[in-house]
Amino acid sequence: MSDSDLMSIQEVAKYLKVTPQYARKLISEEKLKADRVGSQWVINKSDLSDYIKKYDVMIEPDDHERLDNEVPPIVALSFFSGAMGLDIGMSNGGIKALLACEFNKYCRMTIAKNEPEIALIGDINKYSSEEILKLAKVPEGRQVDVIFGGPPCQAFSTAGTRKAFNDDRGNVFLRYIQVVEEIHPKYVVIENVRGLLSAPYPYGEVEEPIKGGALCVIMDRLKAAGYTISFELYNAANFGAPQIRERVVMIGKLNGEKVPYLTPTNSDNEMFGLPKWNALRDALDGLDIKEHHSIEFPEKRLKFYRMLKEGQYWKDLPPEVQKEAMGKKLELGGGKTGFYRRLSFDKPSPTLVTNPTMPATDLCHPTEDRPLSVEEYSRIQGFPDDWHICGPILEQYRQIGNAVPIRLGEAIARTIIADMNGEPLPQYDGFSYSRYKNTSDITWQIWMNKALEKAKEKVKEAQNAKIYEQLSLFAEENEAQESAS
């Protein structure tokens, strides 16, 4: 064994992309073999390789260009790729991305593990559009067909602080729009939460934040770049996902008529002649694994779950137990349907969240006394069984919970390819894509125009009041001067 085969703690830490303290912890736990030489630990490279293999260690990948040189018929780029739920759906539908952009290290590990040949970049702000195309190995002069992605939704979420573009995550949303403006793909896809429709932001003459202002800014930018826009709030259950999950999907088309709405494949309304919504049972059918990986409910909550049957929640507890179980939460408004919620095999899953044990959005297995497992999460979202989600278990839940259902991604791809080929897909008049109103590009714009008119009237009223106040003050000063003289 030569000195070149040995590594220091610092070198191992740098290789694994962990801290030296963590590397020392691996040695103390005897996971990583090391030898003491004087006052220093040294690690043989072969022992490091054995550790990586034994514990299936995934090292955060560096940014890199695409490893494959082939140029497919449809050239696409993916941004804010996450665990690649949208990418898988788009690929299944015929649109496979050449580049993924993702900042989160665990998501990057997931991407590298499952799609090692795809180009990978991190911070979207650190790359020019020219560099992005070069890393994706898009031939010079070849137009990009599709750019798709879900810019960080927290800045627009109805459950967050709604800072929109004043939040760093909102700013990367605008950077995403800028990349689209510069690369000019034939189609652009934006997937986001329902809160995008009403995210407040100053717009036009209205200097104070107005609900819907953020979307107005986004649409103005895209229209100025030559895109026609269609969007709707879609329930993923209407496209075959065994989950009630509503997301805004916006499709922009360069220099052409707007793209039709997505074509549903399932419905809870028999009048359209479509198959019924898929249920949790359909998602979990055939899931044959030796061990489920899940976090646990605290014992103080488990005792109440043991009183509940499939499909029940806190209101199904005995009346004398409800107060003990809920405490002050009983005083909260709304139906509180997420508390102590056991799922039903015969209904779609509620929206998967980033942690299945959060009290207000519990996701308990229908018959077992535990939350849904990571494996069940993956099935519900539609990930292939061999898709490896990297990172600690809470990060796995987070990645899957933030993902776009694969079936929704497939519907987006089908719609775009049909539009490319001039082959219209079936449309169902009167179909309700979600449970909310004013969510399409048409109905939302009507609502937004009315809101803007009201806001402008308030601005004028405020301006007139200020002018009147100034005139009154001027008149009072003149009277005072005349009295003094």
Catalytic residue numbers? 153
Nearest to 247 by CA among 420, 77, 85, 419: 85
CA dist., res. 399 & res. 401, Å (int): 6
Which amino acid makes up residue 71? V
CA dist., res. 19 & res. 10, Å (int): 8
Is 35 strand, coil or helix? Answer: strand
Q: Which residues pair with 120 in a beta bridge?
A: 64, 100
Q: Helices 85-92 & 406-420, crossing angle to 10 degrees? A: 40
CA dist., res. 136 & res. 81, Å (int): 15
Burial class (CB in 10 A: 0-12, 13-18, 19+), 237: buried
CA dist., res. 282 & res. 239, Å (int): 14
CA dist., res. 334 & res. 350, Å (int): 17
H or E segment at 206? Answer: strand 206-210
CA dist., res. 104 & res. 61, Å (int): 11
